[in-house]
Amino acid sequence: MPSPSSAVSDSGRPDPSRLWRDGDFRRLWVGQTASQLGEHTSLVVLPLFAVLTLHAGAGQLGVLRAVGQAPILLLSLFVGAWVDRWRTRTLMVLADAGRALALGAAAVTGLLAGLGLPALLVLAFAVGALSVFFDVAYQASLVRLVERDQLVRGNSALEGSRSAAQIGGSALGGVLVSVLSAPIAVASSAVFFALSFLSIRRIVRRESIPERSERSPRVWRRILEGLRFVAGDASLRTVCLASAAFQFFFAAVMTVYLLFLPRDLHLSGTAVGLALAATGPGALLGSLLAARLPSRFGYGAVLVSAAALGDGVFLFVPALHGSSQVTVPALLTVNFVFGTFSQLVNATVMAVRQTVTPDTMQGRAAATINFVGMGLTPLGSLLGGLLAEAWGTRTSLLVTALGMLVSPALMTLSPLARLGRTLSAPPGTAVPSA
């Protein structure tokens, strides 16, 4: 770990340039950016390929998305217990290698024998399982690489790269499905994961992880410790509940959304990819705002207002009609606004979690929040498919978009809304500064 003095300037204030002079942080940033490009490309490629090439129905698309999200529910808690006892670099490298191999094998299979829906289901589950390992490890890795007074800047940089990946990944995925074969589109994601593997494996700093005793607690006991810690903290408990509500209804929204754009609005794969890519520049702006707004207006006020604005903008989508000259600019605006405020929420929530959580609990806290917050996404995806079949896409979009507002409502009624301009850290740790 870097020494505390290495993160400050001669004046005693945090030195922002120190973060980028750290070679290991740069390697993490490059690897995470490439990994996010691969993930966001595949998130567009697989559903669009199912809809446009295999002519999958609403129910089948819901199943495909649910299968890819199921590992979050099945594996998150176990992965969190392992992350707190293993080096995050090792887990991220193995996850990236596995995703590159899985997507590469699927691309070869598709070129030789064709890629059908059963193969897509297997691929979605495998990539989703490995993504759980990478995501939990990556959320704990920053705390082990930088000092706590650099966490806000580090998170802003990493979330900014994730935002840029949303721009490139979503747009690239839509274009590849439209103009190239599906196997080549799948192979593009494999290349990004391979690049991430090559970058992250070059991290040389040895991480500070708890010593393993001869009689280490069993994995179930460690999982329960993480659950009790999150449940016992009012802020983290609210984050779990609000995240669960948001992810459940957002999964339903996105299932209907990916049907609504090509079928009701008659948009091409390229137009769909570009519309989704507008989330990226918005998220980039949101990550920049997250480094300043909470310390100025208060963490609670920023979380509640940003969640309400970001989630509420989807209520305009069901009202869209007409030609692509009208609908595409409107979708770009909706996705930009959503990207800005949802990213502001994400980065602020991550700062809250990392600040109030001891180093020895980082992996389990992240995994518990992922488990509770995103564990319902498979059910949300299934609900979206069922509603689209029963009520049609336009009505289903309105209902599920209204459901997303449950999340800011839960924040408003909780102690999370009363968080001020500073956060309280566990004894013996420093509070990150903006």
- Give Cα 88 distance to the centre of its chain: 17
pLDDT at 234: 83
pLDDT at 146: 64
Rounded to an integer, what distance in angstroms lies between the CA atom of residue 134 and that of residue 127?
Answer: 10
pLDDT at 425: 58
pLDDT at 410: 92
Contact between 286 and 343 under an 8 Å Cβ cutoff? The reply is yes
pLDDT at 407: 93
C-alpha closest to that of 37 among 134, 190, 166, 129: 166
Q: Partners of 14 in the beta sheet?
A: 8
pLDDT at 408: 94
Burial 162-191 (b: 16+ CB within 10 A, else e): bbbbbbbbbbbbbbbbbeebbbebbbbbbb
Query: CB burial class (10 A; 0-12, 13-18, 19+) of residue 93?
Result: buried
pLDDT at 150: 63
Q: What is the pLDDT along the chain (434 residues), one digit of tens a residue?
A: 343 334 444 444 445 556 666 667 778 878 888 888 888 788 778 887 777 767 777 778 878 888 888 887 788 778 877 777 778 888 889 999 999 999 888 888 877 777 778 888 888 999 999 988 888 887 777 777 766 666 666 766 776 676 666 666 766 777 777 777 777 778 888 889 999 999 988 887 776 665 555 555 577 787 888 888 888 888 888 888 998 999 899 989 988 988 888 888 888 777 887 787 777 788 778 878 887 888 889 888 999 999 999 999 999 999 888 776 788 899 999 999 998 998 889 888 887 887 788 877 877 887 788 788 777 888 888 899 899 988 988 999 999 999 999 999 999 988 888 888 877 655 444 443 33
> Hunting for tokens 């309400």 — which residue is that?
308
Query: CB burial class (10 A; 0-12, 13-18, 19+) of residue 319?
Result: exposed
